[in-house]
Structure formats: structure tokens, C-alpha cells
Structure 1
Amino acid sequence: MLTPFQNASAKIDAENAQDPNSELFQSKSYPKELLYSNRMYKRLLDFHPNASEEVQIAAKAQHICRWKMPRESYPMDRVGYLKWREELKKFHAKTTAGILASVGYSQEFIDRVSFLIEKKLLKKDEETQLLEDVICLVFLEFYLEPFVQKHDTEKLKNIILKTWNKMSEKGHQAALKISYTDENLQLIKDALGL
């Protein structure tokens, strides 16, 4: 007999496994959002092993079915970007809520997971902050390098600084322990004035 958590996890994985976009990691190809989901979950358990079930599901479902709302479907300016981000959070929360209801979670539990996915009360809610720390750590470890290939130094410093400012002190300590290339470590230090 599977627990609701195991059922929900399997359904989230099944949804993310349908991502038509793939990413190579250690010479193997993965559906992009399934790989992201697995990275989020693993990093959460490494960073905070006693995370609640709500946070665990929110971490796994952070980008659920993201490919269904491509960035290009919104105006390619700052306003379009912010609207896309806002609607994405609601889409991820709603998609996850449907899965959680189907495996028997209470409305209270579902509401809490939606609250976390929508990143409400950042810096004020401990679990929202925990999730944001994990998002930032996963970005720095796995997704900073592709940004480095695409953007100039000033833009990169700005991205790093914004990421840093969203994190807690515990998040900062974990971020400095990630194994970066020498160039990226220097970039981070320059951005932070270290």
C-alpha cells in the first residue's frame, strides 16, 4: 500500500517525465523538468533533512509541467516576464493541488502546498524561505553555468546578487560550499564584494 506522499510523488514525476525538452547530465538525457524536480528534492533533503511533507512536495512540484507555459507566450519585456512568473506559480500550484486531491490529501494540506509553491510571505514564513533557499542553491549549482554562457558580466553579477538577497544566512553558507568552476566562484565573489 503506497502512502499519499508516495502516490503524489509518482504522479508529479509522471507529469514531469512528459517534458518534451531534455537535458544532458553525466552523459545521460533526462526530461528537463523531471531532472529539475529530482535536483530540488535531493537538495532539500541534503539541506534540511527534517523538511515537512508539504515542503517536500512543493520542492518536487516547483516547476511541474512548466513547458506548457513557455516564456515566449508572453511579451518579451520586464512586464511580460513578471506576468509569466506570477501566472506560472499559480499554474504550478493548481496542477499540484489536483494531484494532491486525487491521492486523498486534506484541503488544509493542499492549501499549504499551494501557499509554498506560490512563495508567499518570503522572508517571513520559515518554510517558504526554506523552499526559496533550495531553489537558489539548485540554480547556483546546476543552472548558473548556462547563464554565464549567455550574459555579460554585469548582468551576471546582478543575477547573482538578486539570488543571494533572496536567501537566508544558512542558505548563504550552503551556497559557498558548492563546487564551482574557478571562474564562477570569482564571479560570485565579485558580485558579493567578497
Structure 2
Amino acid sequence: MAQSTVSCLKSAISAIDAANSADPNLDDGEPAALLYGKRMSAELERLYPDASDPLRVAARGQHIERWILPRATYPEGKAGYHAWRRELAKHHAQRVGTIMAEAGYGDADIDAAGRMLRKEGIKRHNDVQSLEDVICFVFLKWYFTPFAAKHNDAKVLGIVQKTARKMSDEARQRVLAEFDLPEPLAAAFRQ
């Protein structure tokens, strides 16, 4: 990696962390978005150690300033949920793009990160799929157990099935190897 690329990456990650440090929601005593970003970077490094800079920045910025668009401000139900998620994706891509430009990245890298954050090309574009796989691993590793404790078995199974469908074949195989999931949850990753 060229020194200027290292400098750009370091600057972008620092700016994302600074923005996420303002999250009023805490998780393990840290701003939730900041902790999530750190977890995303750690899991990306573990799963894809040769990741591109745009993928590294997108992973760290996946939930940048998520708290400013609360779910409760959108209508209940599936349509409201999807509208909220679309607005979050646009916000994340815009904020990360601004940060990347300020850090010295060019348009091609900014566009690539934006595409990943908007999830354009899951199952078709390697970096978009890699980001989605990392998101799913982070969910399973740190957020699944608290989620499952709050919901009935049918809802938990549905979420696990949706999670598995988003993942690449390779990532689903890794889930089966790395997690001790009870049946029928494990079955969702075998399909």
C-alpha cells in the first residue's frame, strides 16, 4: 500500500470514528455506532484481510450517525422499515463519501464505497457481497443473542433465514463451521 493510501485510510477511519463518537446510545459503555464500526473492521480484517480501501471504509462507516434517523420516525410495518433502511443507506453513503473526499480519495473509490453502503449489487459485485457477509457475521457474533432473547422462535427463525439468504455460499459455510447453531437455525445456512 502506498503511503498516501495508508494516510487516506487512516484519515477516513478517524473521521468516521469521530462522527460515531457522538452516538448518544451506549453499548458496553461505548457509543453504539462507534463500537459497531470497530466490530465491523475487526470482522472484515478476519474474513477479508486483503480488502480494498473502499471496502474497509464502508465497513467502518456502515452505521455512521445511524441514530440521527430513528426507526420510530418512520411508519410501523414492512413499508416503513424499508423506507427507513433506504434513507439510512443514502445517508451512510453520502456521509462516508464526504469523509472519503476530505481524506483524499478519488471519485472511483468514493463511488465504490457508496455502492457498497447502498447495497447495490449483492450477489453480483464481490465487494458489496463481502460487506454484506461481514454485516451478517457481526450480527451473528454480537447482536443475535440479545435479539433472540426479545423475540419468539418464529421471528428468530425468520430473521436467521433472511440473514442466510443475504450471505455468499462461502460465508454460510463459515457460519456452520464457526457457530454452534441449534436446528433449525443451522438448516437455514445449509440451503
Look up the match of 1:14: 18
Q: What TM-score, normalized to structure 2?
A: 0.92
1:185 pairs with 2:189 = no
Residue 189 of structure 1: how far off its partner (Å)? 2.6
User: What is the rounded CA distance, in whole Å, between the counterparts of 1:190 and 1:171 in structure 2?
Assistant: 14
Q: Paired residue for 1:136?
A: 136
> Within the alignment, does 1:163 sit opposite 2:163 as a pair?
yes
Structure 1 residue 187, shift from structure 2 partner = 5.3
Superposed displacement of residue 193, structure 1: 7.6
CA-CA distance at 1:64 after TM superposition = 0.3
Identity, % of aligned pairs? 38
Contact 1:137–1:174 (Cα < 8 Å) also in 2: no
3-state secondary structure, aligned to 2:30: strand
Q: Can you list the C-alpha shifts for 1:121-146, whole angstroms capped at 9, x where unaligned? A: 11011111111000011101111111
How do residues 23-62 of structure 1 correspond to structure 2 at under 5 angstroms?
23-24=27-28, 29-62=29-62
The Cα shift of 1:108 comes to 1.6
* Structure 1 counterpart of 2:182, one-letter code: L
Summarize the Cα distance change of 1:44–1:193 in structure 2 as closer, same or farther, 3 Å threshold.
closer
Aligned to 2:92: 92
Shift in Å at residue 185 of structure 1?
A: 3.4
Counterpart for residue 80 of structure 1? 80
Quickly say closer, same or farther: Cα 1:187–1:96, change in 2 above 3 A.
same
Cα distance, 1:192 vs. partner? 5.4
Deviation at 1:188, TM superposition (A): 1.8
Specify the SS of the correspondent of 1:20: coil
The CA distance in 2 between the partners of 1:191 and 1:155, in whole Å, is 13
Q: Secondary structure at the match of 2:177?
A: coil
* Greater Cα offset, 170-179 or 37-46: 170-179
Say if 1:186 and 1:94 are closer, same or farther in 2 by CA, change over 3 A.
same
> What does residue 70 of structure 2 align with?
70
Q: Are 1:19 and 1:67, in contact at CA under 8 Å, matched by a contact in 2? A: yes
In the TM superposition, residue 6 of structure 1 has moved relative to its aligned partner by: 0.5
What RMSD, in angstroms, separates the aligned Cα atoms of the two structures? 1.8
Normalised TM-score (structure 1) = 0.90
Residues 86-130 of structure 1: CA deviation (Å, up to 9, x unaligned) = 110000000111111111111121111101111101101111111
What letter is aligned with 2:33? E
Q: Distance in 2 between matches of 1:22 and 1:130?
A: 27
| Cα deviation code 1:34-90 (max 9, x no counterpart) | 111011111011001111111011100000000000000100111100000011000
SS of corresponding position for 2:76 = coil
Equivalent residue, structure 2, for 1:174: 174
Measure the CA separation in 2 of the matches of 1:158 and 1:130. Answer: 22
Q: Is the CA contact 1:157–1:190 (under 8 Å) kept in the aligned structure 2? A: no
SS at match of 2:178: coil
